[in-house]
Each structure stands twice: as C-alpha cells, then as structure tokens.
Homo-oligomer: A and B are copies of this chain.
C-alpha cells in the first residue's frame, strides 16, 4: 500500500517547552506532504526530521493563534531561498494573507513562486484530486478554527495476475479493469470484473481536531476515521481551565474518539504544565483504549 502516515513536528500548546514545539504535523500520502499547522520553528523541525520542505504543496492552518502559524513566514522565505518555483496553496481562516503581506512589505521580500490563499469560512471540501479529499471540520474555539478530514479516494481494484495470462488481457485494458469494468474477450465472451479482480484496501482517513472546547457537533463528520488526532490540552483536574480557554481534557478527547468510533486516537497539544504526559494518556485510555501520545519525530501510520 502507498504510504499514508503522520509525523508529529510539534505537540505543545501555546508556550513551547524545552522539549516540545508548537503545533505542526506532516501528513504523507503517496510521498506528497501535507503540512497541518505551522507553529514557530516548523522549518527547523522539518530539517531535524529530514522531511523535505519543497515536497509540501498544501498547508492547512487551523486558526490564527500564534502557536499554529508563526512558523509560516520563515518557512515561506526559506522555500524561496532554496529555489522553489512551484505554487503553494495555503488554507486558513481569513487574515493570513494580510499577515504575510505586511511581513513581505517591510522586508521588501518577493517570492519566486506563487502563493495561493484559500480562506476557510465554513464546513466545506477545500481540496480534492484523484488521490485525496480534504474537508474542514468546524471547531469551537475562541477565534474561528477548523479541523481537517483527510480521506483517500477509493483505491483501484487489484487485478489477479493469473487472469491476465488466462484471458490475454491487453495493457490498455488494465486501467478500466482496475476501475471495476468487465471486459470482452477475443472470442466475444464477457468476463465479469468480479472474476478478474479482488477488492481493494478500503480508503483510509485521518481527522485532525485542534483547538476546541468539548463539543459533539463534528462526531458525525469524523465517524469511523482510521486515525484521529485530538487536542488534549489538559487533564481532567483542569476541566474549568479547559472550558475557560476553549480547550479539551484528555478524557474529553477520548470521549469524542469513542463516540465517533474511530480506530485510533492520538492526543496532543499539551499544556506546558505537563512535563510527564503519562497521566494524560492514562486518563484517555480509561475511556478509549487505543490511544497513543503525540511525540515529536514519531511517525504514525493511518
């Protein structure tokens, strides 16, 4: 199967710590990199984990709190200095284009590639191609904020090798067969697709939910996702602070995972107060057993 995995570049909430950076992740599908949020020092983390920045063509910014986008101006500048020419798409709530523009105005900077800004203002499909679709997931935070649902397009059917010889199948017929079409043999006989192929691997999906106060409004949207990253800024002992700041506890993140029937949960966006993350993990696991911690540099297969 083609790669479809996530690398955590940063998993701290607002203030970074000496061991945790602000939010950023790379989703790798078919060796295309999708950058999800871009906290300060994202470009440094990319280098550290040997992920090629020029492989990123789409950047998704959940919201305009600094810990989710302040690494963007530096990354854009480095992409330019390192010779980028292909266009780059940036999806975020409105405002980011203006922020980048004023930085470039004062630095008299010009990028040798085209930036295409896509303003997110509702639940919508913001990207779709032959391999993937991306939908926004409205969060409930202090400012406009969106999660993202990445879904593979249905995979092509697998041709049974022996059938190619058996029916003398021509190369030019293979794409149609993979798409589920029957064929007609040289003798004029229809051979059903079911005889020629096996079911493909089911399309995989990854849901990214950060930042938000606990709310069940998006459970339907992320239903049955293969992997869910959900913010878990606090432990339950800080539930009041979580509500006040429009964040979730680890237990709440796990409750969402349970209700949405996802296959696996990654928690992250930890408050700097937690040096030891095991209490957050334990709390989540009590509700949803298949929970893991987001750890910088770790790769998680969807």
Please list the residues of chain A having a beta carbon within 8 angstroms of any beta carbon in chain B: 14-18, 21-22, 40-41, 43-44, 47-48, 64-67, 70-71, 73-74, 77-78, 81-82, 95-96, 98-99, 102-103, 105-109, 142-143
Known: A17-B47, A18-B47, A78-B15. A109 touches B66 (CB 8 A): yes
* Copies per complex of this chain: 2
Given contacts A17-B47, A66-B73, 6 further A-B contacts (CB under 8 A): A15-B81, A16-B78, A18-B47, A66-B74, A67-B74, A108-B143
> Smallest CB–CB gap between A145 and chain B, Å?
11
Task: Choose one: B41, B81, B102; the contact of A40 (CB below 8 Å).
Answer: B41
Judge whether A107 and B66 touch: CB under 8 Å: yes
Q: Note all chain B residues with C-beta closer than 8 A to A21.
A: 44
Judge whether A43 and B16 touch: CB under 8 Å: yes
Judge whether B99 and A103 touch: CB under 8 Å: yes
Known: A44-B41, A98-B102. A73 touches B74 (CB 8 A): no
Judge whether A14 and B78 touch: CB under 8 Å: yes
Q: How far is the CA of A117 from the CA of B66 in the complex (A)?
A: 20
Q: How far is the CA of A254 from the CA of B140 in the complex (A)?
A: 57
Judge whether A103 and B44 touch: CB under 8 Å: no
Q: How far is the CA of A50 from the CA of B96 in the complex (A)?
A: 33
